Amino acid sequence: MRSGLILIVIFAAVIAFPHLLPSPYLIHIGTLIFIWSFITTSWSYMGRFGLVSLGHGAFLGVGAYTSGLLFNAFGLSPWIGMLLGGLAAVILAIIIGYGCFRFGVIGDYFALLTLALGEVVALTIIAFRDITGGSLGFTLKSKGTSFWYFQSEEKIHFYYASLAFLILALLIWKWIDRSKMQKALRAIGEDEIAASTLGVPIIRYKMVITMISAFMTAVGAVLYAQYITYLNPHTLSGVAPSLEIAFKAILGGMFSLWGPTIGTALTVSLEEYFRVVYGGTFVGFSQIIYGLALVLLIIFLPKGIYGSLEAFFKRTKDH
């Protein structure tokens, strides 16, 4: 009951925040946190069950570019674009996922394969530079403030919109948690062979969770693209964003509901802090600290920050 109360308080604070402290910069940070938490949480749908993907950049790229290009070329509403982008990501997920699960590619080989996939998408986007603008990316055409075109000149709209998306992602997390799928995937995660002899349809469940994760990630990418109104293959595909997503989730603890969000909030804040304090002089300095912190964390706190805290409190409660 206590945790529910805390949640309501935090929620109220978050909603009221832009009105209490109308700083465009902080609202911007908040929005970024919500968007990336959405994406990171979607990643952890797979991650928590042992399907650690280091290539979600592939879904980001496919989603954002599908929607963005259709929007610029045909004025297609990003809401539809989101669905199409999500669909494209799902198709990619099906092809790769089926290949992997059918051939029993798991664990770190799976991670490596997805890593390569993220790069393939990035390189493909860059290669077709006539359409996509290549390494330089492209800007979305401006339509002013419009719900239908999912653009706004007021940051605060995106603040609430991405908050809503994040809540959706969290609800879906909870839904997965309660479903039959969760038990099956847990069993698969612990002992795949045993699970299959018990008749658990392994490939099917893995495919489902991968498809959900891919779809949501692509949607998140569209959300981000609409907010920034600029797409670039280095931020929306390839190795870098893929690793960042994985790291944020693991940092916060990919096995818990709030883990990815906390991990994202921490890293985004940290990055911003370093950029503000050291910004001009040390471009990339923040990343170094960030990378170092991650390496140390991975070695010493395999459950992530939130997960470890959760376990710690559980243990003290039991005593």
- Interacting residues toward another protein by CB under 8 A: 52, 54, 96, 99-100, 103, 105-109, 111-113, 116-117, 119-120, 123-124, 126-127, 239, 243, 246-247, 250, 282-285, 287-288, 290-292, 294-295, 298-300, 302
- In whole angstroms, the minimum distance from the beta carbon of 126 to another protein comes to 6
Q: Which two tokens stand for residue 62?
A: 């496919």
- In whole angstroms, the minimum distance from the beta carbon of 240 to another protein comes to 8
* C-alpha span between 118 and 242 (Å, rounded): 7
Closest Cα partner for 60 from 238, 187, 192, 195? 238
The bridge status of strand 230-231 relative to strand 138-139 is antiparallel
The amino acid that residue 107 corresponds to is G
* C-alpha span between 126 and 118 (Å, rounded): 13
Q: 64, 231 in Cβ contact below 8 A?
A: yes
- Report the residue number, 51 or 222, with the smaller CB distance to another protein: 51
* C-alpha span between 317 and 231 (Å, rounded): 47
- In whole angstroms, the minimum distance from the beta carbon of 67 to another protein comes to 23
- Report the residue number, 51 or 219, with the smaller CB distance to another protein: 51
- Report the residue number, 13 or 112, with the smaller CB distance to another protein: 112
- Report the residue number, 58 or 161, with the smaller CB distance to another protein: 58
- In whole angstroms, the minimum distance from the beta carbon of 117 to another protein comes to 7
DSSP string of 196-259, one letter each residue: HHTT--HHHHHHHHHHHHHHHHHHHHHHHHHHH-EE-HHHHSSHHHHHHHHHHHHHH-TTSSSH
- Report the residue number, 83 or 305, with the smaller CB distance to another protein: 305
Q: 277, 271 in Cβ contact below 8 A?
A: no
- Report the residue number, 91 or 127, with the smaller CB distance to another protein: 127
Q: 200, 185 in Cβ contact below 8 A?
A: no
- In whole angstroms, the minimum distance from the beta carbon of 214 to another protein comes to 16
- In whole angstroms, the minimum distance from the beta carbon of 287 to another protein comes to 4
